[in-house]
């Protein structure tokens, strides 16, 4: 493992941070983005930890490593990661990436194809600076799945794919309000553990590593729902979570509650909003279109002093 200098650009998307590594990342070789993500996870995990964990990062930080794309016609490839591992996909991060690339003068308004470990997504940078991401095909795998959660009782939810696997819970557990952050974290963490213990998974045994709890919005004039999303490393998403919004859109569509082109406004626990809609695919899945805003708010160069006991971060 070498000790390069890394150059990163920070942004936040509706409150959730993204840190794009624009220089100094390891050579991940050739192949698909899924193969490169596996190499990053198995052979270069120091980069993830150095970028996301303390002392440079914190539990909510999502990193994004820019790499060469594999799929044709893409402007770049990206691998997202957080305080504990690589992520399949991340929409708030894609919005942050698009705004970062615009800040660097590498892209302008218009549509940009971006290669990810779960497929190509399209980021549309609008003239007003907002970004719409056309996500990977999304779908509801199972509805009204019951899980026995120690100390919380039976919890019922949908299992849906929106680029990550989600368990979607409505009007159960603590009220979805900012003052309940601690109990919402305890509740959703208990649900996640119960799903794992009881062998409830996404397709092909994939772990359901995101838990999303929904309640009514603070103001129905501004949003249709407010959510709390527990990310894999136990941090809550400060944004409405784009892959979580995609999973929700897929569930609503499967339940006949959302028609193509109909707008769904998903508020986060901080009451920032993503706007979503779906396009139908012939096989019943949907392409979620998720729109949000991001702001570049910093730039750093990271040094790796071999005498620093935490040069690669403090493991989460």
Q: Where are the beta strands (DSSP E) in the chain?
A: 6-13, 16-23, 62-67, 76-81, 110-116, 119-125, 131-134, 139-149, 153-161, 165-170, 210-215, 225-230, 264-267, 273-280, 286-292, 294-302
Residue 245: what are its φ and ψ, rounded to 5°? Answer: -65, -40
Token pair in block for residue 99: 């705004």
* Distance in Å, CB of 117 to ligand PYC, minimum: 13
Token pair in block for residue 47: 């980069």
Residue 215 to residue 194: CA distance in whole angstroms: 21
**β-pair partners for 170:** 214
* Distance in Å, CB of 161 to ligand PYC, minimum: 12
Nearer to ligand PYC, 62 or 184 (CB): 62
Nearer to ligand PYC, 62 or 198 (CB): 62
DSSP code of residue 26? P
Instruction: Please provide the distance, in angstroms rounded to a whole number, between the alpha carbons at the two ends of the chain.
Output: 21
Nearer to ligand PYC, 166 or 187 (CB): 166
Q: Which of 113, 31, 108, 122 is nearest to 72 (CA)?
A: 113
Nearer to ligand PYC, 150 or 238 (CB): 238
Alpha-helix runs per DSSP H in the chain: 33-43, 45-52, 91-103, 181-197, 242-254
Residue 36 to residue 108: CA distance in whole angstroms: 27
Active site residues: 90, 241
Nearer to ligand PYC, 62 or 287 (CB): 62
Nearer to ligand PYC, 36 or 92 (CB): 92
* Distance in Å, CB of 78 to ligand PYC, minimum: 12
Residue 273 to residue 267: CA distance in whole angstroms: 4
* Distance in Å, CB of 178 to ligand PYC, minimum: 18
* Distance in Å, CB of 160 to ligand PYC, minimum: 13
User: Is 227:268 a contact under the CB 8 Å cutoff?
Assistant: yes
* Distance in Å, CB of 153 to ligand PYC, minimum: 27
Chain residues in the site for ligand PYC (CB under 6 A): 16, 62, 90-92, 231, 237, 239, 241-243
């Amino acid at each position: 493992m070498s000790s390069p200098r890394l150059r990163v650009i920070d942004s936040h998307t509706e409150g959730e941070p993204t840190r794009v590594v624009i220089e100094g990342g390891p050579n991940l070789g050739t192949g698909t983005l899924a193969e490169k993500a596996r190499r990053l996870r198995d052979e270069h995990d120091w980069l993830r930890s150095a970028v996301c964990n303390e002392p440079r990062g914190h539990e909510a930080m999502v990193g994004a490593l820019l790499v060469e794309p594999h799929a044709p016609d893409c402007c770049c490839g990206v691998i997202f990661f957080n305080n504990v591992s690589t992520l399949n996909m991340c929409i708030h991060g894609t919005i942050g990436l698009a705004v970062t690339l615009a800040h660097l003068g590498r892209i302008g308004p218009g549509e940009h194809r971006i290669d990810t470990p779960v497929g190509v997504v399209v980021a549309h940078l609008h003239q007003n600076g907002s970004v719409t991401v056309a996500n990977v095909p999304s779908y509801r795998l199972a509805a009204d799945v019951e899980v026995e959660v120690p100390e919380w009782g039976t919890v019922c939810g949908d299992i849906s794919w929106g680029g990550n696997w989600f368990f979607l819970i409505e009007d159960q557990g603590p009220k979805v309000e900012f003052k309940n952050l601690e109990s919402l974290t305890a509740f959703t963490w208990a649900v996640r553990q119960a799903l794992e213990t009881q062998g409830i998974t996404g397709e092909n045994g994939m772990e359901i590593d995101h838990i999303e709890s929904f309640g009514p919005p603070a103001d129905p004039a501004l949003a249709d729902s407010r959510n709390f999303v527990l990310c894999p490393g136990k941090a809550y998403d400060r944004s409405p979570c784009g892959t979580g919004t995609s999973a929700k859109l897929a569930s609503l569509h499967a339940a006949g509650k959302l028609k193509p082109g109909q707008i769904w406004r998903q508020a986060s626990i901080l009451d920032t909003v993503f706007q979503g809609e779906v396009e139908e695919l012939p096989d019943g899945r949907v392409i979620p279109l998720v729109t949000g805003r991001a702001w570049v708010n910093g730039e750093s160069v990271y040094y790796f002093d071999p005498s620093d006991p935490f040069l690669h971060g403090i493991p989460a």
